[in-house]
């Protein structure tokens, strides 16, 4: 009975890691693409994109950004230090997209924070993987 319970818990942890990894990858991509469309709107006009096309693509990526941001937040436990640190960085990125701050947004600023997210999330996933290995005898 203990072995079955251990297997279930371990499998759930592994699924959680995969869900978090996927949401983080999508979040990273959509944050960069949202920033690109906000920062380079004029550049896209020169390439032949209309304002409507640019806005539609921005809206699409920004919607994906918020969707994945919420997924990540629901997968994290704000009572754990590294999880709280990750949420804090996501809050900083959210501030970049506020209407009053959007004029100062840059790929470099967003990418710097995204790299911090990658580092913290790697540590979170490693910790969870180690817990999973302890539960499931290999």
- How many CB atoms are located within 10 Å of the residue 45 CB? 13
Residue 9 falls inside a structural domain = yes
Could you give the number of structural domains in the chain? 1
What is the full DSSP assignment across 71-115? HHHHHS-TTSHHHHHHHHHHHHHHHHTSTTTGGG--HHHHHHHHH
Residue 25 falls inside a structural domain = yes
Domain that holds residue 26: 2-130
Residue 137 falls inside a structural domain = no
User: What does the pLDDT read at residue 47?
Assistant: 45
Q: What is the pLDDT of residues 4-15, one digit of tens each?
A: 666 677 788 889
Structure token pair of residue 28: 């990273």
Q: What is the pLDDT of residues 51-60, one digit of tens each?
A: 677 778 788 9
Residue 88 falls inside a structural domain = yes
User: What does the pLDDT read at residue 116?
Assistant: 97
Q: What is the pLDDT of residues 76-121, one digit of tens each?
A: 999 999 999 999 999 999 998 888 887 788 889 999 999 999 999 9
Q: Whole-prediction pTM value?
A: 0.81
Q: What is the pLDDT of residues 111-124, one digit of tens each?
A: 999 999 999 999 99
Residue 75 falls inside a structural domain = yes
Residue 138 falls inside a structural domain = no
Residue 71 falls inside a structural domain = yes
| pLDDT, averaged across the chain | 84
Residue 43 falls inside a structural domain = yes
């Amino acid at each position: 009975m203990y072995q079955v319970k251990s297997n279930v818990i371990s499998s759930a942890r592994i699924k959680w890691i995969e869900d978090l990894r996927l949401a983080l990858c999508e979040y990273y991509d959509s944050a960069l693409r949202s920033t690109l469309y906000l920062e380079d709107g004029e550049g896209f006009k020169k390439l032949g994109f209309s304002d409507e096309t640019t806005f539609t693509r921005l809206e699409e990526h920004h919607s994906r950004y918020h969707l994945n941001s919420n997924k990540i937040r629901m997968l994290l436990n704000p009572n754990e230090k590294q999880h709280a640190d990750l949420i804090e960085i996501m809050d900083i990125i959210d501030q970049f997209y506020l209407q009053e701050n959007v004029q100062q947004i840059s790929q470099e600023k967003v990418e710097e924070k995204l790299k911090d997210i990658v580092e913290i999330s790697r540590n979170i996933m490693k910790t969870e993987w180690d817990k999973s290995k302890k539960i499931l005898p290999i």
